[in-house]
């Protein structure tokens, strides 16, 4: 059995970069990351063994971060529209290493303010649920 989080992370990275043209970070953004970027975070998975392989239920959070004093959530929500247009329940996921994705759904879309209002940080979190099977 292989770790499905690795393959789904690669898939999300490729598709997010293509859809938004933004830099995508894994887990956290470095100091000085810029004013607009995406962080892949909150990956969790649970696994069940079946007769012919393993079924994994995976959750991944796409964290869209914008820093702007002029637009508030407007820019973050515009980026979230690009993401949701590219990655939604109609999207077909193709993975390597014998993994097949049978289901993709959007669990939630939430807006978050930065910790300090003076920072002008606006975030949109999109939570995805994916079912992946490995034979």
Model pLDDT, residue 1: 58
Which domains, from first to last, does the chain contain? Answer: 4-134 (3.30.2000.30)
Alpha helices in the chain (DSSP H): 4-20, 73-86
Residue 8 CB neighbours (<10 A): 24
Whether pLDDT at 130 is above 90: yes
Whether pLDDT at 111 is above 90: no
Compute the mean pLDDT over every residue in the chain, rounded to the nearest whole number.
Answer: 88
Model pLDDT, residue 116: 64
Distance CA 44, CA 20 (A): 24
pLDDT in tens, 3-52: 888 889 999 999 999 999 999 999 999 999 999 999 999 888 887 887 77
The larger pLDDT score, comparing residue 96 to residue 57, is at: 57
Long-range CB pairs of 89-98 (<8 Å, 24+ gap) are: 91/15, 93/8, 93/11, 93/130, 94/11, 95/4, 95/7, 95/8, 95/11, 95/132, 96/7, 97/2, 97/7, 97/134, 98/2, 98/134, 98/135
pTM (predicted TM-score): 0.88
The percentage of the chain sitting over the pLDDT mark of 90, rounded to a whole number, equals 55
Whether pLDDT at 117 is above 70: no
Distance CA 17, CA 114 (A): 23
């Amino acid at each position: 059995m292989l770790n499905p989080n690795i393959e789904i992370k690669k898939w999300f990275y490729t598709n997010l970069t293509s859809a938004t043209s933004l830099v995508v970070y894994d887990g956290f953004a470095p100091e000085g990351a810029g004013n607009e970027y995406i962080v892949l975070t909150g990956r969790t998975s649970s696994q069940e063994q079946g007769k012919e392989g393993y079924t994994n239920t995976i959750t991944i959070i796409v964290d869209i971060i914008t820093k702007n004093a002029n637009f508030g959530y407007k820019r973050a929500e515009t980026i979230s529209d690009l993401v949701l247009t590219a990655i939604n329940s109609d999207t077909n996921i193709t993975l390597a290493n014998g993994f097949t994705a049978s289901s993709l759904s959007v669990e939630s879309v939430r807006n978050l303010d930065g910790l300090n209002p003076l920072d002008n940080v606006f975030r949109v979190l999109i939570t995805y649920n994916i079912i992946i099977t490995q034979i």
